[in-house]
């Protein structure tokens, strides 16, 4: 089997139970088939003399990591990646910031990653680069003579060209993207936005539904919806640890509905709108009733950036307002937890909650929606309320789909979920389980790698196989 080389901004720490779903799934795949995972180790050092890469072995895979300097962290990570690309790809031009230093830092770190990675590659490696931090890495590797198949996957949305062109340097960025053999997207509309950009702004043409020709260069663009390992998540939700969590969360003898939200504390996740919708739900019941308790886990992220500090303050103020207005001596309506919680605890909370509230304003996929479904008790499942602007909404049709900007619609969906019959909940859940099994983590990875292996243009440009395996089964 050919060696798989994964490159991402951060490499998961196998000793951390708090890693997200995707990190866990990539690590599992690498452990099984062996391979190399390269990226930042999360450490920040004073200057470049301290950034030598280090390797650790984890089962059959090697994790090769290096720190960033303070300047890299500021310019590449916080700056261009998270103050320019992240907001623009989430349709938030109002929050996008740009400096020449940040763009320069982004180029510098990508070039350094290529410098460090190139001597560690074999000719037969399959290389898979992840996400917006590393868009130019493929071109940087090509410039160093790497002729292997290199694939790229966008975990975040790809905006329409009219929004994308607000990115300074967008032509350079998009041209460097064309050096990958395969570019993967979460949804058909992300893929369509990209293809439209290439055709309208870079003079490319579609030669088949998944293949673009740009000045004689063939690039494949496919749709590969990310998923989770359904069985292992479901097992975790039934574990003794999860059961203990459920017992501690539910107030014995009380018929109370729990609503769960789990998100990184990011403005794309729609948390203030969600809190307002919860407030509207409470207002729709007679005074004194205690119809539902919202548990919101908002794990800290990028908290050095002003936009993230602002949203944290907004949430603190809103939760204080809601608890002050509706709370009672024996009831806190909104339990807002700004901390990272262990994964098995999350699984237990999902299972204990009648409603999973997943209402991002824009999201590439959203794995929390899938985890919530997997964690339910099939004989008495909860209801998923899902934003139409999450990539997951393309597939999860049996969720209650909402417009997260419309707080009354979200409040109404919560009321509908509270009142929904068990029969309807079971039917919806059964259908949703089928869907998350069909597009699970393994399917995502194997269909992407199958499509990547079929890209042979570097080795045999004249014999390019333009097969259409770019779309996930
Ligand atoms: C990006 C895209 C796309 C969250 N809080 C805690 C915790 N989590 C875990 C969740 C889930 C993961 O983190 C979050 O995944 P999402 O998909 O919801 O969102 P992003 O982090 O924004 O991920 C997104 C994803 O990439 C994959 O392609 O779906 O659209 O933005 O697994 O459970 N895990 C633990 N404690 C927490 O407090 N243990």
CA R_g for the chain: 23
- Ligand 1: residues whose CB is within 6 Å? 18, 20-22, 155-156, 226, 262, 264, 297, 299, 340-343, 346, 363-368, 371
pLDDT, average across residues 279-291: 94
Average pLDDT of the chain is 92
Residue 402 pLDDT greater than 70, yes or no: yes
Six-digit token string for 254: 């009380």
Under 8 Å between Cβ of 225 and 366: no
Q: Spot the catalytic one: 131, 363, 395, 440.
A: 363
Spacing, Cα 129 to ligand 1 middle (Å): 18
Same structural domain, 85 and 106: yes
Question: Looking at the domain assignment, is residue 336 inside a domain?
Answer: yes
pLDDT exceeds cutoff 70 at 17: no
Whether 470 shows a pLDDT value over 60: the answer reads: no
Q: Which of 90, 133, 155, 429 is catalytic?
A: 155
223 and 280 co-located in one domain: no
How far is ligand 1, taken at its centre, from the CA of residue 416, in Å? 27
For the chain, the first-to-last Cα distance in angstroms comes to: 22
Q: What percent of the chain has pLDDT over 90?
A: 81
Residue 457 has what pLDDT?
A: 53
- Specify the CATH number for the domain of residue 186: 3.40.50.2000
* 203 burial type by CB count under 10 A (0-12 exposed, 13-18 middle, 19+ buried): exposed
With a cut of 90, say whether residue 471 has pLDDT above it. no
Q: Is 202 part of a structural domain of the chain? A: yes
| 304 and 196 assigned to the same domain | no
pLDDT the model gives residue 256: 80
Q: Which residue range is the domain that position 131 belongs to? A: 4-227+441-463
Residue 470 included in any domain: no
Domain match, 217 and 70 both = yes
Is-contact 406 400, C-beta < 8 A? no
The reply to whether 138 and 12 lie within a common domain is yes
Instruction: Check residues 43 and 33 and name the one with the higher pLDDT.
Output: 43
| Count: domains in the chain | 2
Is 121 a member of any domain? yes
Answer whether residue 473 is part of any domain. Answer: no
Give yes or no: residues 131 and 187 share one domain: yes
Q: Tell me, yes or no, whether 471 lies in a domain.
A: no
Query: Ligand 1, closest atom to CA 157?
Result: 30
Which two three-digit tokens encode residue 154? 């966008």
**Helix or strand (DSSP H, E) at 35:** strand 35-45
In a domain, 360, yes or no: yes
Give 33's pLDDT tier (boundaries 50, 70, 90): confident
Q: Are residues 327 and 349 in the same domain?
A: yes
Give the pLDDT band of residue 252 (cuts 50, 70, 90): low
Check whether 466 has a pLDDT greater than 50: no
Predicted local confidence at residue 21, as pLDDT: 63
334-362 pLDDT, tens per residue? 999 999 998 888 999 999 999 999 999 99
Q: What is the side-by-side strand order in the sheet with 334-337?
A: 334-337, 292-299, 257-264, 355-358, 383-387, 400-402
Atom number, ligand 1, closest to the C-alpha of residue 392? 29
Report the predicted TM-score, pTM, of the whole model to 2 decimal places: 0.94
Question: What is the structure's pLDDT at 31?
Answer: 80
Cα dihedral sign, 59-64-70-75: negative
Shortest-distance atom of ligand 1 to CA 266: 22
Do 301 and 162 belong to one domain? no
Based on the domain organization, do 306 and 294 belong to the same domain? yes
Residue 469 lies in a domain: no
Position with higher pLDDT, 330 vs 460: 330
Asked if 342 and 245 count as a contact pair (C-beta separation under 8 A), the reply is no
Nearest atom of ligand 1 to the alpha carbon of 21: 32
Do 244 and 214 lie in one domain? The reply is: no
**Distance from residue 403's CA to the centre of ligand 1 (Å):** 21
Co-location of 399 and 299 in the same domain:
yes
Q: Is 395 a catalytic residue?
A: no
- Per-residue confidence (pLDDT) for residue 162, from 0 to 100: 97
Examine the domain organization and report whether 194 and 264 are in the same domain: no
**Three-class SS of 159-185:** CCHHHHCCCCCHHHHHHHHCCCCEEEE
């Amino acid at each position: 089997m050919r060696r798989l080389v994964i490159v991402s901004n951060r490499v998961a720490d196998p000793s951390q139970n708090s890693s997200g779903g995707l990190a866990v799934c990539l690590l599992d795949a690498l452990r099984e088939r062996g391979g190399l995972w390269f990226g930042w180790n999360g450490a920040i050092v004073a200057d470049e003399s301290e950034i030598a890469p280090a390797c650790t072995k984890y089962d059959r895979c090697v994790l090769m990591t290096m720190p960033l300097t303070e300047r890299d962290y500021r310019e590449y990570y916080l700056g261009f990646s998270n103050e320019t690309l992240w907001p623009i790809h989430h349709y938030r031009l109002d929050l996008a910031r740009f400096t020449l230093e940040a763009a320069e830092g982004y180029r510098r770190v990508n070039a350094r990653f290529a410098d460090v990675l190139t001597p560690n590659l074999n000719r037969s490696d399959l290389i898979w680069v992840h996400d917006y931090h590393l868009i130019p890495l493929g071109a940087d590797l090509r410039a160093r003579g790497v002729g292997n198949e290199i694939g790229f996957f966008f975990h975040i949305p790809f905006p329409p060209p009219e929004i994308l062109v607000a990115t300074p340097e967008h032509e350079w960025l998009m041209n460097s993207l064309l050096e990958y053999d395969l570019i993967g997207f979460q949804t058909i509309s992300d893929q369509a936005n990209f293809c439209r950009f290439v055709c309208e702004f870079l003079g490319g043409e579609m030669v088949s539904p998944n293949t673009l020709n740009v000045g004689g260069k063939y690039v494949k663009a496919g749709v590969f919806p990310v998923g989770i390992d359904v069985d292992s998540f479901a097992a975790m939700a039934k574990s003794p640890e999860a059961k203990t969590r459920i017992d501690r969360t539910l107030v014995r003898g009380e018929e109370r509905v729990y609503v769960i939200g789990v998100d990184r504390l990011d403005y794309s996740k729609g948390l203030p709108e969600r809190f307002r919708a919860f407030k509207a739900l409470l207002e729709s019941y007679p005074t004194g009733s205690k119809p539902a308790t919202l548990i919101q886990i908002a794990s800290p992220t990028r908290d050095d950036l002003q936009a993230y500090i602002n949203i944290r303050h907004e949430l603190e103020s809103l939760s204080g307002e809601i608890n002050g207005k509706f709370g009672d001596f024996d009831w806190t309506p909104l339990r807002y937890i700004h901390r990272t919680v262990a994964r098995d605890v999350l699984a237990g909370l999902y299972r204990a909650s009648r409603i999973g509230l997943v209402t991002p304003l824009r999201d590439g996929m959203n794995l929390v929606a899938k985890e919530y479904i997997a964690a339910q008790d099939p004989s008495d499942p909860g209801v998923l309320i899902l934003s139409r602007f999450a990539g997951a909404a393309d597939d999860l049709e049996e969720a209650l789909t909402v417009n997260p900007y419309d707080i009354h619609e979200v409040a109404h969906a919560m009321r509908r979920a509270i009142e929904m019959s068990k029969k309807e909940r079971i039917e919806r859940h059964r259908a949703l389980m089928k869907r998350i099994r069909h597009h699970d983590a393994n399917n995502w990875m194997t269909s992407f790698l199958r499509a990547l292996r079929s890209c042979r243009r570097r080795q045999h440009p004249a014999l390019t196989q333009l097969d259409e395996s770019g779309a996930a089964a």
